[in-house]
Amino acid sequence: MSHQGETGQADGKGKSNRLIDETSPYLLQHAYNPVEWYPWGAEALDKAKQNDKPILLSIGYSACHWCHVMEHESFEDPEIAKIMNEKFVPIKVDREERPDLDDIYMKSVQMMTGHGGWPMTVFLTPELKPFYGGTYFPPADRHGLPSFRRVLLSVALSWLEQRENIEKGSDELSHYLGLLNKITADEQAGGNQALAEETVSACLTNLLRVADPSWGGFGGAPKFPQAQSLNLIMRRAGSLGNDDLTKQCQSMLENTLNKMAYGGIHDQIGGGFARYSVDRQWLVPHFEKMLYDNAMLARVYLDGYLLNGNTYWKDVAKDCLDFVLRELTSEEGAFYSSLDADSEGEEGKFYVWRPTQITDILGHVDGQWFNKVYGVTDLGNFEHMTSVLHLSDSPENLANQFDCSEADLGKRLIPLRQKLLSERNKRIAPGRDEKVLTSWNSLMISALTKGYVVLQDPQYLQAARKASEFILQNLVKDGRLLRTWGKGQAKLAAYLDDYAYFVQALIDLAEVDFESKWLEEAIELTDKTIEHFWDQTDGGFFYTADDHETLLMRPKNYNDGPTPSAISVVTNNLLKLANILDNKTYRAKAEAILKLYAPHFVKAPDQFANLICALDFYLAENLEIALLTDSAKDDFRPMLFATHSVYLPNGVFALKDFSNTAKNGKWLEACPLLRSRSLLSDKTTAYVCHKYTCSEPVENGTKLVKQLRRSSSNV
């Protein structure tokens, strides 16, 4: 399969604009527009000031369907481009490269219009203050939306004739944007009281109120997976309580993970998940596939498998990881960002089927059977009477329907899916955004480390290590992280999520791999995070570093979106490192963040779900597991896999290998879990501890699992 490259080649399109030298595939898609696009930078901003022109800021991303639509309808139109070039300084931004700009100006559009999305169009004064904006604008007036041409001419005229009103309005809007960062003293009051188990329970109760009892997930159409909320639900579902709330969480989790996996949002033959479903039933996806979704959902399904032993969930997770390794991995071992929704100019064309296409490939008997299993009909469920593959019923019911076991059903489907995948790969594939982001790569590293110990497959550890080494070698400069890599070069200072997610990935690696450098790097980068991002005045972390370019405001990212908030991940990291190292400074920082935001948790649990997970960790009687080996004398993997075979969301792990003291860095001296611990009979040995007081050491995997289950039920 060859993905349509987004290389910015001319292809007879004529003269290129300033985007031709960029590394972002999304920006390169616009490099031959007649619009005289600028990338965000001094040249464009200086021109706006010198010429006293408003800035037309357009923000989108490569996998965005409506971004492509607006480009073809408007940005490729010479007459519209002429207006843009004459009346404005047009700047094009990839939101995945510049989430700081996207955050600031998306909030402004939401304040102006009541909604947001991409493509985003926002008009700024030369001082970068927003005064008008929206999302997609059509080429002609329709559905209550003004045409983009009319918007451009109206804004340009207002700039000339109503300048004073524009500047007054932009000043007021910018003032209110700045207030979004502030948490007042009144709001902070009660932070101590909110750090309680009752807060977590109240959050779960409110979260369940918006759960869909029939199809799982939260809310109606369009429906997003919301991995952070599922992780929070899973924590209570994994408790040993017998109360109604725990039972509701268990039921909701099982229903959601099943219905998502059965639906068309899940690529039934290629693995992986699309970004969201356009309907309530998870049937028809918006077909773009993002690296971050697949990283987070793979972990959710792996944890779900650990929780209740559902092997179908394990298979879903494996297919998810394998999809990324197959289709989103570079030769260097880094991970690309996404696959487009479109191919050949049509959304979803690559993924959909007609019944005859399947019978032609699989034969009449297998083909008809396959069509029944995956709901492929003559009428279809998508455009042009095509069908999005989805399980027409649960595996259990399908097995009963076809008078076979679930295992036999799965065995028959595997070669048929493979045949269809091979045939699908001959189609023209969606475009691939070959931009490498530190943050999203880190999420995938975390997923792969979990995949390694749960699926017991070393290829996932190898991939995680290789991607981590890629970041350390290519995206670190002078001890600081960089944001993005493409076309052989790294650029842009990293944001808080880059630091947070990569530290999390390093901690996760340190829990499954005996190389101590992972934890050493995590500690070093955590200290850099505190040094450059901590808000010395109001507490918490800024999204940009203290030496970042000056923008309209210095944003904070404290709400979960498609990915967990950077602040929530930092908090979880600080708590884990505090437990591993018994570091009071880290613990105090984490506690301060929780006190800052906890009063808001119950009102908006979906927006703070990952930070509520951190609160649950903070309140828990954590288990600490030390695993020691001499890898030259003993195979440590059975004990390692046993250590990670139990769902322990509040567990922390420390590993030490006596076979090579060079692997054991200076952090070991500060780790109370490993201090004075020794091997039993030269065999890999585990210590299960609570507040650094340990149970009897064990060297047998079966005994270890029993001890973990017993210990987890007592804390």
**Cα–Cα dist 320/328, whole Å:** 11
CA-CA-CA-CA torsion sign (613, 615, 617, 619): negative
- Residue 601's DSSP bridge partners are none
Question: What pLDDT sits at residue 252?
Answer: 98
**Cα–Cα dist 333/372, whole Å:** 39
**Cα–Cα dist 564/650, whole Å:** 18
Kindly state whether residues 422 and 444 are assigned to the same domain. Answer: no
What is the domain-level CATH number for residue 146?
3.40.30.10
Kindly state whether residues 500 and 475 are assigned to the same domain. Answer: yes
β-strand pairing of 623-629 with 489-493: unpaired
Write the CB contacts of 475 (distance below 8 Å, at least 6 apart in sequence): 436, 438, 481, 482, 483, 485, 490, 494
In Å, what is the CA distance from 33 to each residue of 8, 14, 84, 135, 699?
10, 9, 12, 19, 65
Mean pLDDT (whole number) for 419-435:
96
pLDDT value at 7 more than 50: no
Kindly state whether residues 477 and 592 are assigned to the same domain. Answer: yes
Q: For residue 8, what pLDDT band results from cuts at 50, 70 and 90?
A: very low
Residue 332 within any structural domain of the chain:
no
The pTM for the full model equals 0.95
Kindly state whether residues 392 and 539 are assigned to the same domain. Answer: no
Question: What pLDDT sits at residue 670?
Answer: 72
pLDDT value at 345 more than 90: no
DSSP per residue over 522-536, as a string?
HHHHHHHHHHHHB-T
Kindly state whether residues 466 and 510 are assigned to the same domain. Answer: yes
What is the domain-level CATH number for residue 570?
1.50.10.20
pLDDT value at 10 more than 50: no
Kindly state whether residues 611 and 658 are assigned to the same domain. Answer: no
Kindly state whether residues 577 and 668 are assigned to the same domain. Answer: no
pLDDT value at 328 more than 50: yes
Kindly state whether residues 603 and 628 are assigned to the same domain. Answer: no
130: helix, strand or coil:
strand
Question: What pLDDT sits at residue 5?
Answer: 46
CB 288 within 8 A of CB 65: yes
Give tens-digit pLDDT for 264-310: 999 999 999 999 999 999 999 999 999 999 999 999 999 999 999 99
Q: In the numeric block, which tokens belong to residue 488?
A: 């052989």
Residue 190 within any structural domain of the chain:
no
Q: In the numeric block, which tokens belong to residue 669?
A: 């001296």
Name which of 570, 573, 591 is nearest 581 in CA terms. 573
User: Mean pLDDT lowest for which of 39-48, 400-409, 529-538, 654-663?
Assistant: 654-663
Residue 318 within any structural domain of the chain:
no
Residue 70 within any structural domain of the chain:
yes
**Cα–Cα dist 513/461, whole Å:** 8
Give tens-digit pLDDT for 582-596: 999 999 999 999 999
Kindly state whether residues 697 and 640 are assigned to the same domain. Answer: yes
- Provide the edge-to-edge strand list for the sheet that holds 623-629: 651-657, 623-629, 685-690, 693-694
Residue 253 within any structural domain of the chain:
no
Question: What pLDDT sits at residue 6?
Answer: 43
Kindly state whether residues 127 and 146 are assigned to the same domain. Answer: yes
At which of 619, 637, 664 does a domain end? 619
Residue 276 within any structural domain of the chain:
no
Give tens-digit pLDDT for 72-99: 999 999 999 999 999 999 999 999 999 9
DSSP per residue over 372-435, as a string?
HHTT--SS-SSGGG-B----SS-HHHHHHHTTS-HHHHHHHHHHHHHHHHHHHTTSPBPPEE--
Question: What pLDDT sits at residue 184?
Answer: 54
- State the CB neighbour count (10 A cutoff) for residue 190: 12
Q: How many domains is the chain built from?
A: 4
What is the domain-level CATH number for residue 700?
3.40.30
Mean pLDDT score of the chain, rounded to an integer? 93
CB 519 within 8 A of CB 506: yes
Crossing angle, helix 291-308 and helix 244-262, to 10 degrees? Answer: 130
Kindly state whether residues 30 and 166 are assigned to the same domain. Answer: yes
Give tens-digit pLDDT for 514-544: 998 999 999 999 999 999 999 999 899 999 9
Give tens-digit pLDDT for 554-567: 999 889 999 999 99
For residue 706, give its domain range. Answer: 623-713
Residue 601 within any structural domain of the chain:
yes
CB 119 within 8 A of CB 136: yes
Kindly state whether residues 558 and 666 are assigned to the same domain. Answer: no
pLDDT value at 1 more than 80: no
Q: Burial code of 36-55, b = ≥16 C-beta within 10 A, e = fewer?
A: bbbbbeeebbeebeeeebbb
* Centroid of chain to Cα 661: 36
At which of 591, 619, 647 does a domain end? 619
Name which of 502, 606, 705, 545 is nearest 203 in CA terms. 606
Q: For residue 630, what pLDDT band results from cuts at 50, 70 and 90?
A: very high
Crossing angle, helix 227-237 and helix 197-209, to 10 degrees? Answer: 120
Residue 230 within any structural domain of the chain:
no
At which of 154, 179, 204 does a domain end? 179
Q: For residue 183, what pLDDT band results from cuts at 50, 70 and 90?
A: low
